[in-house]
Structure 1
Amino acid sequence: MSGGSSLWELYRSGLGGATFTDLTHAFHPGQPHFPAFPDEERRTVLDYPKGDAFQVHHYGFVGQWGTHVDPPIHFIEGGRTLDQIPVSQMLLPLVVIDMTAKVASSPDATPGLDDIDAWEGRNGKVPAGSFVALRTDWSKRWPDPERMFNRSPDGTSHTPGWSREVLELLLEKRGVTAIGHEQIDTDPGISTSAGDYGLERYVLSLDRWQIELLCNLDKVPEAGALIMATWPKAKGGSGFPARAVAIHR
């Protein structure tokens, strides 16, 4: 095939019958968010009932709002900003690690090396340059703040998160490009309740990026899919709502 038409043919033959699953929550005022952040403010600047010819909204929200991307600068001074993440990283192989059974037994669950061993036993080694998503089904609690944070009477949040041993394996030994998860934070709730965000800092310190508050991972195969993730190109940006889509059979 000649240059200009080759990717068109790939689209028709390879993606024409694919399923596109949205992994993104629609954001709105009043949704669950980090307690220190203000709520979203939204107002209509122009609208049809006012006699205007079109509708325009003004949005006001922090960068880490809803399903969002965290670039290294979010935790690491001098780290890459949103506009410095290359578009070549916005389409990646998608690996889904399913730990829903562990979460059903304990909301404080984190993945172990056994979860990665089991995945690799079925699918082969986690591919370098991939995006690894942690499936917990926690997103089914959205948009209820109380259920998302799942606090005990003493105020401690009981939510699943990543583990250091799994992140070290994926980032340093398998060489994955990015990670994602369904809960609000990288770290489990018992850690964040104590002010410990060490795992998120670790991920971003390795010049990786992540997407938080994913959804619909239960509709995506654990291997063989792609993830398309993108966000506005805010110069020097430290975070922004993202749109993530899984492409799969």
Structure 2
Amino acid sequence: MSGEEPRLWSLHRELTEGTVFTDLTHAFRPGQPHFPGFGDERRETLFDLARGDGFTVHRYTLAGQWGTHVDPPSHFVAGARTLDRIPVREMVLPLVVLDITARVAADPDATPTLDDVTSWERRNGRVPAGSFVALRTGWSRRWPDPEAMDNRDGDGVRHTPGWSREVLRYLFEDAGVTAIGHEQADTDPGLAASAGDHGLEEYVLARDRWQLELLAHLDRVPEAGSLLVASWPRPHGGSGFPARVFAIHPAV
């Protein structure tokens, strides 16, 4: 063997020496915000070092769509790709951040427009094919307060930001992105989701794409130039699972 450092080891050293790793994941726990139909997380301590056992083990009972999580196409589309059929090469992607935080602060029902995408591309070049696009809204600052996350009015209607069809259509059909993600609990804005309209989420998943919900700390990541790494367990036929997500990027 030669004394040269293997290429991938060299790339790893260069990557880790000059970059920041930012966790984009909420730590999940009982009592956190969740869809009412799921019920709360339950934990049972099967073995415990504090009780004199030789190790600690918990049993977790929770819905797949819990905390920061991944939605595969099969979440909404019968016969579509399940978690175990998403290849690991899709889990490391260029990260694009669309920031509409200022608009959401003034109007919680705000959604992105094509002007937002055009402005991003004017500053950074075309949205890369095969990338992951995250919608930054500032909503994750409300976590883990269920009432603040839902932001319901007196009639029980949720006022939360979401995606828009025009932007999703551009990202998937023109730019050719691989996946999207957002800080709020739904792809669709709260006004639509409150009425049972999840058409935008269905639009995404019906295109054999996946998404991440309830992302955190997008304010710590630049709008361009980062890598997103998303991982999750591989349940056979799985329709959703908590995910561990992080960004690798230059210092902001």
- TM-score using structure 2 length: 0.97
Q: What pairs with 1:184-199 in structure 2 (closer than 5 Å)?
A: 184-199=185-200
1:109-138 superposed Cα distances (whole Å, 9 cap, x missing partner): 000000000000000000000000000010
Q: Determine the structure 2 residue equivalent to 1:16.
A: 17
Q: Determine the structure 2 residue equivalent to 1:54.
A: 55
For these two proteins, the number of residue pairs brought into alignment is 249
Q: 1:199 to 1:55 in 2, by over 3 A?
A: same
- TM-score using structure 1 length: 0.98
Q: What pairs with 1:153-232 in structure 2 (closer than 5 Å)?
A: 153-232=154-233
Q: Quick one: which amino acid aligns to residue 138 of structure 1?
A: W
Q: Separation in 2 of the partners of 1:32 and 1:3?
A: 51
Deviation at 1:3, TM superposition (A): 9.7
Structure 2, unaligned runs of 5 or more = none
Q: Separation in 2 of the partners of 1:13 and 1:247?
A: 12
1:63 aligned onto 2:58 = no
Q: What pairs with 1:1-249 in structure 2 (closer than 5 Å)?
A: 5-249=6-250
Q: Separation in 2 of the partners of 1:30 and 1:156?
A: 22
Q: Separation in 2 of the partners of 1:167 and 1:15?
A: 33
SS at match of 1:234: coil
1:12-46 superposed Cα distances (whole Å, 9 cap, x missing partner): 12332210000000000000011211110001110
CA RMSD in angstroms, aligned pairs only: 1.2
Sequence identity percentage: 66
Structure 1, unaligned runs of 5 or more = none
Q: Quick one: which amino acid aligns to residue 204 of structure 2?
A: V
Of 104-113 and 49-58, the range deviating more from structure 2: 49-58
Q: Quick one: which amino acid aligns to residue 6 of structure 1?
A: R
Q: Separation in 1 of the partners of 2:25 and 2:50?
A: 31
Deviation at 1:102, TM superposition (A): 1.0
Q: Separation in 1 of the partners of 2:12 and 2:232?
A: 23
Q: Quick one: which amino acid aligns to residue 243 of structure 1?
A: R
SS at match of 1:227: strand
Deviation at 1:2, TM superposition (A): 9.2
